[in-house]
Each structure stands twice: as structure tokens, then as C-alpha cells.
């Protein structure tokens, strides 16, 4: 009998551990997915880009030289994956949600005089198990 109880207890431990690992990648709200993206760019983590964006996500933006950039999720995760921290102020300034779809505006500000910025527009979808960013368009903004 104690052998059976041990097996049952071990099964629960394994199931709990697996479900906990899976839920670490789940985003139950649009804010969760956006915050994983913010963590990615502020810590230089390509792994967090993969967690935040859908596999088919499109990333497009104009940089500080007004050069158009376009990336797949994989290419963007490689670009971000530097391990360098970014001391920028990052805020979700608007979030609109209708059922399983959402759209957010995220603003970045950095520099000694807070003269640099980006404005990101993110579209998100709930795929039945988690929220993901499906596309990002952004533009560099000279703030001062």
C-alpha cells in the first residue's frame, strides 16, 4: 500500500512540476505578454522575445536614422539577444481589448536628457491557451 501511495505522490509532484513549467510561459492577459516583451528588450533576452511573440509575428519599425527594418520573430530574437540591459523608461500607455484580441501602445524613453524614444504599436491575440504579440510596428521619436 505504501508503494502505491509513493507512486501516486510522485505522479502528483511530476504533474505539478510540469504544469508549473508550462504556466511559466503562459500569458493569461495581454499585459503578461507585453511585460515579457518589455523584459526582453530591457535585459537583452532573445528567449523572452520568443515567449512574447507568436511564431509568425511580424516586427517592423523605423530606427533613429529613419531606416525601415523588418524582422521575423526568430531574427528579432537574435537581434535582441545581447544580454545588455537597457536603461529606458518603458510604459504601456494604452491597451484596448475586445474578447480575444488586443492592441497596445508602448512608449520607450531614454538618454541623459530623455531625448530618445520609440512608440510601439502591438497587436495581440489569445490563441486558446495564451496571449501572444502577433505584430509590432514602431517608430523612433526624437523627444527634445
CATH for 69: 3.10.450.50
Does residue 4 belong to any structural domain of this protein? no
pLDDT tens-digit readout, 96-124: 999 999 999 999 999 999 999 999 999 99
Query: Residue 27 — very low, low, confident or very high, per pLDDT cuts 50/70/90?
Result: confident
What is the rounded average pLDDT of the residues 39-65? 97
Does residue 58 belong to any structural domain of this protein? yes
Q: How many domains does the chain have?
A: 1
Does residue 8 belong to any structural domain of this protein? no
pTM over 0.85, yes/no: no
Query: CB within 8 A of 22, min separation 6: which ones?
Result: none
Q: How far apart are alpha carbons 114 and 104 in whole angstroms?
A: 22
Q: Report long-range pairs for 110-116 (Cβ below 8 Å, ≥24 apart).
A: 110/86, 111/143, 113/144, 114/89, 114/143, 114/144, 115/142, 115/143, 115/144, 116/64, 116/140, 116/141, 116/142, 116/143
Bridge pairing between strands 131-142 and 53-62: parallel
Give the C-alpha distances (Å, rounded to integers) separating 69 from 31, 42, 52, 99.
Answer: 25, 19, 19, 31
Does residue 83 belong to any structural domain of this protein? yes
Domain that holds residue 71: 28-142
Does residue 12 belong to any structural domain of this protein? no
User: Do residues 116 and 86 make contact, with C-beta atoms less than 8 angstroms apart?
Assistant: no
Amino acid at each position: 500500500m505504501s508503494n502505491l501511495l509513493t507512486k501516486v505522490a510522485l505522479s502528483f509532484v511530476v504533474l505539478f512540476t510540469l504544469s508549473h513549467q508550462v504556466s511559466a510561459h503562459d500569458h493569461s492577459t495581454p499585459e503578461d505578454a507585453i511585460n515579457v516583451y518589455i523584459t526582453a528588450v530591457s535585459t537583452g533576452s532573445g528567449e523572452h522575445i520568443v515567449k512574447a511573440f507568436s511564431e509568425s509575428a511580424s516586427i517592423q519599425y523605423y530606427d533613429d536614422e529613419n531606416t525601415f527594418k523588418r524582422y521575423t520573430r526568430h531574427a528579432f530574437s537574435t537581434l535582441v539577444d545581447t544580454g545588455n540591459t537597457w536603461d529606458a523608461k518603458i510604459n504601456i500607455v494604452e491597451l484596448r481589448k475586445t474578447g480575444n484580441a488586443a492592441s497596445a501602445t508602448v512608449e520607450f524613453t531614454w538618454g541623459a536628457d530623455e531625448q530618445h524614444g520609440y512608440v510601439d504599436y502591438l497587436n495581440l491575440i489569445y490563441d486558446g491557451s495564451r496571449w501572444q504579440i502577433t505584430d509590432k510596428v514602431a517608430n523612433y521619436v526624437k523627444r527634445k
